[in-house]
Amino acid sequence: MKRLLLMSLLLVPVFLFAQQKTASVVLQPDQARLKISKHIYGQFAEHLGTLIYGGLWVGENSPIPNTKGYRNDVLEALKKLSIPNMRWPGGCFADEYHWMDGIGPREKRPKMVNTNWGGVVEDNSFGTHEFLNLCEMLGCEPYVSMNVGSGSVEEMAKWVEYMTSSGDSPMANLRRQNGREEPWKVRYVGVGNESWGCGGNMRPEYYSDLYRRYQTYARNYGNNRLFKVASGASDYDYNWTEVLMKNIGNQMSGISLHYYTVKGWSGSKGSATQFNTDDYYFTLGKCVEIEEVLLKHMEIMDRYDARKRIGLMVDEWGTWFDVEPGTNPGFLRQQSTIRDAFVAALSFNIFHKYTDRIQMTNIAQVVNVLQSMILTDGPKMLLTPTYHVFEMYKPFQEATNIPLTITSEKMTIRNKEVAVVSATAAKAQDGKVYVALANIDAVNGQQVSVALGNIAPKGVSGRILTAQNITDHNTFEKPSVIAPATFTGAKIQGGQLQVNMPSKSIVVLELSM
Ligand code: AHR
């Protein structure tokens, strides 16, 4: 009884200050044209930390339950996300990776030192076959990053032949010798990674010339058609995009962009789990700044490619904080809170608006690295809040985006106005309409009215992801602190949706027709 009294006293200040705010969203279903490519939901798997070894791959002789070396728990969890594509082997690692070291009998594969990430020994036991077979098991398309920084044109050309040729050619025969008769389907290839930095410290003019040369010898074998992605800019480097569009626009299918939600590149990036409300809003402000960055890159692309043939591929995005205390600084292992879940949701809400140009995005990274879907520790595994956003947003893959306008309270973060309520809506392939809403307010709830235009739903159901505290996260001891729950706070009233959102919550609503 005493405890109850104490608890209610502690809760008093929250009740006193928390308010129910209002926001409104207007859907324009008659303007719905753009399809949200499923590739917006892409993943990224680099040879970094415990992503590959321990995270995805434990080897056939591991006591951790596995299928041909891939750990079963992670495989099962990833299958539930309907992953459309996976980028591999890097990242910075890609420009030091020599693919021939990763084929043939595993015990004979040469070792190397992973100079980019922690200086650990890479034994190459996970190579081309292991990656492409994983993609087949997950039903996703591979996106292979080629080594331009320290690899030769010949090496790259042979890799494409090895993976995709069905002919009586040297590399196709080598593949057969290594146990794979039929070629794999490999559509997406990256020609270098961060060539302005870890991928060779090049100038855009020099990279453009190199790109022309490398891409020439990345051949289409049989009916395999390569989608060649040029190594694009980092966040605010608009000159890189300009020079590449001018010099190689006619030779690329896509150009990449990397944008991390990070405090800064020097000094501390802040803790992933111990932060205050100011840090929380700072991160979300930095996250939504991507929209301005995208618009500037897209404006440049439009000038050279008005018909929007070339895709903007945001093939690295997500949060970047200090590593988990006590872990190898080169392993980039970090926890994920409801703040990270918001970064995922707000990013998707933005990406969905520009899918006439944004053809793919890849969150960094899938397991145990940066804003991951999954964390493992030996045999243990947990799903992060970010995983749950990817899962809740699944119906948006290949759905038709419904444009919308939002009127909501704004807060000033990093000298910019940020709407407290963010939303996206789409007509999905199952005929239903999905509306996702995010209320980033750490204290106040929101009564959101959604005007549906000519959509007349028969019913509404939904799920919510929320947390008691902004720093809450899932641990191996308590893996379900943040997990989706049934949401009953939405109703249809007078042709509108009325949604009663708690503070710091993400809601995905399903409207049945
Ligand atoms: O995702 C981690 C690293 O970030 C990648 O290897 C690199 O491309 C980027 O700088």
Report pLDDT digits (tens) over 366-412: 999 999 999 999 999 999 999 999 999 999 999 999 999 999 999 99
Find the 350 Cα to ligand 1 centroid distance in Å: 22
On whether both 178 and 255 belong to a single domain, the answer is yes
What percentage of the chain reaches a pLDDT higher than 90? Answer: 95
Contacts of 445 by beta carbon, 8 Å cutoff, 6+ apart: 18, 19, 20, 21, 439, 500, 501, 502, 503
Atom of ligand 1 nearest to the CA of 332: 2
- pLDDT at 19 (0 to 100): 87
On whether both 334 and 372 belong to a single domain, the answer is yes
Q: How far apart are CA 262 and CA 191, in angstroms?
A: 26
What residue owns the CA closest to ligand 1's atom 8? Answer: 91
Instruction: Using pLDDT thresholds of 50, 70 and 90, give the confidence band for residue 1.
Output: very low
Atom of ligand 1 nearest to the CA of 197: 10
Does some domain include residue 14? no
Q: Which residue, 374, 398, 422, sits at the end of a domain?
A: 398
Does some domain include residue 362? yes
- pLDDT of 360 > 80? The answer is yes
What residue owns the CA closest to ligand 1's atom 1? Answer: 364
Q: Which residue, 370, 398, 426, sits at the end of a domain?
A: 398
What residue owns the CA closest to ligand 1's atom 7? Answer: 91
Average pLDDT on 251-263 reads 98
Q: How far apart are CA 452 and CA 498, in angstroms?
A: 11
On whether both 195 and 250 belong to a single domain, the answer is yes
Most ligand 1 atoms within 8 A of CB, residue of 122, 258, 314 to mutate:
258
Find the 368 Cα to ligand 1 centroid distance in Å: 14
Amino acid letter, residue 357:
R
Q: Which residue, 398, 419, 448, sits at the end of a domain?
A: 398
Does some domain include residue 12? no
271: left (phi over 0), alpha (psi -120 to 50) or beta: beta
Atom of ligand 1 nearest to the CA of 365: 1
On whether both 72 and 168 belong to a single domain, the answer is yes
Find the 92 Cα to ligand 1 centroid distance in Å: 6
What residue owns the CA closest to ligand 1's atom 3? Answer: 91
On whether both 235 and 280 belong to a single domain, the answer is yes
Find the 341 Cα to ligand 1 centroid distance in Å: 20
Most ligand 1 atoms within 8 A of CB, residue of 194, 269, 314, 365 to mutate:
194
Domain CATH number, residue 476: 2.60.40.1180
Atom of ligand 1 nearest to the CA of 234: 10
Find the 78 Cα to ligand 1 centroid distance in Å: 22
On whether both 56 and 44 belong to a single domain, the answer is yes
Most ligand 1 atoms within 8 A of CB, residue of 43, 44, 46, 332 to mutate:
46
Atom of ligand 1 nearest to the CA of 194: 8
What residue owns the CA closest to ligand 1's atom 9? Answer: 91
Instruction: Using pLDDT thresholds of 50, 70 and 90, give the confidence band for residue 4.
Output: very low
Ligand 1 site: residues with CB under 6 angstroms?
A: 46, 90-92, 193-194, 316, 364-365, 370
CB 22 within 8 A of CB 340: no
3-state secondary structure 74-122: HHHHHHCCCCCEEEECCCHHHHHCCHHHHCCCHHHCCCEEECCCCCEEE
Which residues are catalytically annotated? 194, 316
What percentage of the chain reaches a pLDDT higher than 70? Answer: 97
* Of 50, 92, 78, nearest in space to 368 by CA: 50
Average pLDDT on 114-123 reads 96
- pLDDT of 443 > 60? The answer is yes
On whether both 23 and 93 belong to a single domain, the answer is no
Does some domain include residue 93? yes
Find the 81 Cα to ligand 1 centroid distance in Å: 23
Average pLDDT on 192-215 reads 98
Summarize pLDDT for 449-507 with one digit per residue, the tens.
Answer: 999 999 999 999 999 999 999 999 999 999 999 999 999 999 999 889 999 999 999 99
Does some domain include residue 281? yes
- pLDDT at 350 (0 to 100): 98
Contacts of 466 by beta carbon, 8 Å cutoff, 6+ apart: 338, 482, 485, 502, 503, 504, 505, 506
- pLDDT at 8 (0 to 100): 47
Find the 386 Cα to ligand 1 centroid distance in Å: 19
Find the 248 Cα to ligand 1 centroid distance in Å: 24
Atom of ligand 1 nearest to the CA of 116: 6
Average pLDDT on 99-119 reads 97
On whether both 299 and 342 belong to a single domain, the answer is yes
What residue owns the CA closest to ligand 1's atom 5? Answer: 91
Domain CATH number, residue 158: 3.20.20.80
Does some domain include residue 163? yes
On whether both 183 and 312 belong to a single domain, the answer is yes
Q: Kindly report the CA angle at 141 between 137 and 144, in degrees rounded to 5?
A: 110
| Count of the separate structural domains present in the chain | 2
Does some domain include residue 499? yes
On whether both 409 and 260 belong to a single domain, the answer is no
On whether both 410 and 363 belong to a single domain, the answer is no
Average pLDDT on 269-286 reads 97
Mean pLDDT of the chain: 96
What residue owns the CA closest to ligand 1's atom 4? Answer: 91
- pLDDT at 16 (0 to 100): 52
On whether both 250 and 189 belong to a single domain, the answer is yes
Average pLDDT on 13-22 reads 71
191: left (phi over 0), alpha (psi -120 to 50) or beta: beta
Does some domain include residue 286? yes
User: With a threshold of 0.75, does the pTM exceed it?
Assistant: yes
DSSP single-letter state for residue 468: S
- pLDDT at 5 (0 to 100): 47
Domain of 461, in residue numbers: 19-32+402-512
